[in-house]
Amino acid sequence: MKVILVTGRSLKQGMGLELGKFSDTYYRSGVACEMNPEDMKELGLGSGGFVKVMSDHGEVVLRAVEASEEVPHGMIFIPYGPWVNLVVRSETQGTGMPSYKGIEVEVETVGESDIPNVEELVKLFGR
């Protein structure tokens, strides 16, 4: 399913920043893909189901949840964090600012997957 990805601040994500980047609160907020319930139904997703989000620049597996704040059909919301940054491109179109919002992505249902924690995730970057 093609959707528009919006990333942003959520209360849990913001509190997770202060509880620590290695905290469970930060992890749980960052791996939540908030979706419209109709879209979840169309993809056969229950709450907590695994969903792969793919852009031209990368992909990431997250847990689908019904959006706490309404998102319209065809949109997903993912709180800021290193997980969603896997699908955000570094090219800024000469502005200095990456596009963290309004990104065209594709989502599909996947089977149960291991979602790396923040330490495991950064190891994927190299060094």
Contacting positions for another protein (CB under 8 A): 4, 6-11, 14-15, 18-23, 57-58, 67, 69-72, 75, 77, 80-82, 85-86, 88-102, 118-119, 122, 125-127
Contacts of 59 (CB under 8 A, 6+ apart): 52, 53, 86, 87
Q: How far is the CB of 115 from another protein (least distance, A)?
A: 15
**CB closer to another protein out of 114 and 123:** 123
Q: How far is the CB of 29 from another protein (least distance, A)?
A: 11
| Identity of the amino acid at 91 | E
**CB closer to another protein out of 69 and 112:** 69
Cross-strand pairs, 32:
63
Contacts of 125 (CB under 8 A, 6+ apart): none
Q: How far is the CB of 19 from another protein (least distance, A)?
A: 5
Q: How far is the CB of 126 from another protein (least distance, A)?
A: 6
Contacts of 81 (CB under 8 A, 6+ apart): 13, 26, 29, 30, 31
